[in-house]
A and B are shown apart, each in its own frame.
Chain A
Amino acid sequence: MSQTSTLPAPPADGVQFDKAEFADKTPAPACIACQKTIDATYYQINERVVCPDCKEAAAAALTGGSASRRFLRALAWGGLGAFAGAAIWMTITRITGWEIGLVAIVVGLLVGWGVRKGAENRGGWIYQSLAIALTYMAIVATYVPDVHNSFMEAQHFEAVVDVPPDSGAAQSPAAADETVVAANVAPDPGGQEVAAALALPLYVMFLFAVASALPFLALPENLIGLLIIGFALYEAWKMNKRTPLVVSGPFEVTREDAPSATPATPR
């Protein structure tokens, strides 16, 4: 499909394409990292111009520092991303009633960005694995309230089913005896508090475990849901790939009016 019409003479017709023309003078190259103008020496990292200071900083960032501290930072930042992602995922799912693939990608990007920031842009399989674990947890955490509600409903249903029709009217002597026995063997109040305190975290962990298995338990009907989670994991994984640094240089800038570049003299 092409559009035909009587065209005005294009203003770019008389343009020459031998040398670049600039408004004032040939602009000096600037460092892609610190934006400072480069007047003398520069390097190229992955074909991008950097000043000597930033080149040194980039090299140092890939070699120095404490690995465990970096991992903890990645965990903290990634956790923050996971929290934000889960909030967005839950809000949109509740408002619209749909699980949307594009929103899953946003969750993956948030977690991936957090881990990458915490890991100081290192990347690598450890951070990739951390990113996908946090992303998966962010998404399945949003299923926890539904799993809890399902258990409550099931418990309520069982209670209704178990209650005999005449339970409220009269209690059999045997049942009354059982109640007395139960009262006699009940644990002390302090023990009950400890049990309650332990029960809540255990119950939450149990709910989380069920929620984690849910996307797989619902197969094959949930194939699309699993694919949607897959997009989120892929984004988080992709963002934490290790990028190899290809450094070339140093190059000298020697311009006609101020600096002008001379052929590179590799160090």
Chain B
Amino acid sequence: MLACPACAQLVHAKRLKALAQQAQAASAAGDSTAALQSWREALELLPEESKQHAQVRATILELSRGIDATSAKSAPSSSARGWWAGIGALLLFIVGKGKLLLLGLTKASTLFSMFLSLGVYWTAFGWKFAAGLVLSLYVHEMGHVAWLRRYGIAASAPMFVPGLGAFVRMGQYPTDAREDARIGLAGPTWGLFAALVFLAAGSFGPFPSGLAIAHVGAWINLFNLLPVWQLDGARGFRALSRPQRWFAAAAIGLAWALNGDGILLLLLGVAVWRACSKDAPAQGDRIAAFQYAALILGLGQLARVH
């Protein structure tokens, strides 16, 4: 119970005031992620039907859309400052992501569960493949972590479960379908890049197992794009309007025509079912639709590698 049914006194009034102060200080300092963290915690302490809940939710959405807009502006553009600026921005981007990937390994729960998984996969596939597989899963999960942190959503460190994969447990719900889609599709997006790195290492470097890891990594990410249950694909599909869902299904159909893998047939069946369902929003998220389709085509092609 968050408010007294008799006098409407907020049970967590003291904490709410402290969080509002923290959020305002963060906003004044221009740190929208920190502001979002405080407002999200405050939202959990307010009754859903209250005006305060609606006001705080609106603030969160405004801040979160501001972050999306800032990300879009800071993306490297070829026309603005030429190729060198683009390459510099790309390097900064890679260094930033690399730093996050290393930071993630400082969590004991991640590291220990990672080694446990490595041991189990080692017994079945040998150490090279096992290490590559665990690394692919780790990069996928850190994709989710990067966007969760950006939106100020509380979440656990990645945890590995041998035989199952890995997961990140969210402490708070995304505020709208757009946020959910960005977080959900970030995993397969980072997973796609990991598969590309292994493909390059297998094709041009002294690491033949890289091809097998690229294939399995791409396949696992494709499976995660199934638009059902709590899988990443379902998070992406939540933000898609009905025509966008058909567009995504068409992309899957095209990938299947090129690849012929059974997983794409399964994806197609589920996507068509979701496109026919009535839960699609009237206004869809165009970025999520294109991201989903690009992931399907990219991962579908990578899954052909053997």
Contact surface of A with B, Cβ cutoff 8 Å: 1-13, 15-23, 26-29, 47, 49, 92, 94-98, 100-102, 105-106, 220-221, 223-225, 227-228, 230-231, 253-256, 259-262
Contacts and interface: CB of A to CB of B under 8 A. Distances in A.
B9 A19 contact: yes
* Size bin of chain B's contact surface: 35 or more
Contact of A20 (B2, B30, B120, B123): B2
Contacts of A101: 161, 163-165
B100 interface: yes
25 contacts: A4-B31, A5-B32, A9-B27, A11-B55, A11-B58, A12-B39, A15-B55, A17-B16, A17-B20, A19-B3, A20-B2, A22-B51, A29-B5, A94-B262, A95-B265, A98-B219, A101-B164, A102-B223, A102-B229, A224-B163, A227-B120, A228-B164, A230-B163, A231-B161, A255-B6
Interface stretch (B59-67, B80-88, B205-213): B59-67
B63 A2 contact: no
Nearest to B2: A20
Q: Which of B24, B55, B163, B223 has the most CB of A within 10 A?
A: B163
Interface of chain B, helix or strand or loop or mixed?
helix
A156 to B, nearest CB: 28
A255 B161 contact: no
Contacts, number: 166
A7 B32 contact: yes
10 closest A-B pairs by beta carbon, nearest first, are: A227-B163, A261-B6, A101-B164, A17-B16, A12-B59, A20-B3, A95-B262, A2-B33, A20-B50, A21-B51
B56 interface: yes
Nearest to B46: A20
B305 interface: no
Given A220-B123, A231-B164, A18 B10 contact: yes
A2 B26 CA distance: 11
Contacts of B27: 7, 9-10
Contact of A3 (B6, B32, B223, B265): B32
Contacts of A224: 120-121, 124, 162-163
Q: Which of A28, A221, A224, A231 has the most CB of B within 10 A?
A: A224
B8 interface: yes
Contacts of B17: 17
B223 A7 contact: no
Nearest to A225: B163
Contacts of B56: 12, 15
Nearest to A95: B262
A84 to B, nearest CB: 15
B266 interface: yes
Contacts of B24: 10, 13
A28 B52 CA distance: 18
B63 A7 contact: yes
A2 B31 contact: yes
A223 to B, nearest CB: 6
A17 B63 contact: no
B62 to A, nearest CB: 7
B251 to A, nearest CB: 19
Contact of B100 (A1, A19, A231): A1
Contacts of B50: 20-22
Nearest to A261: B6
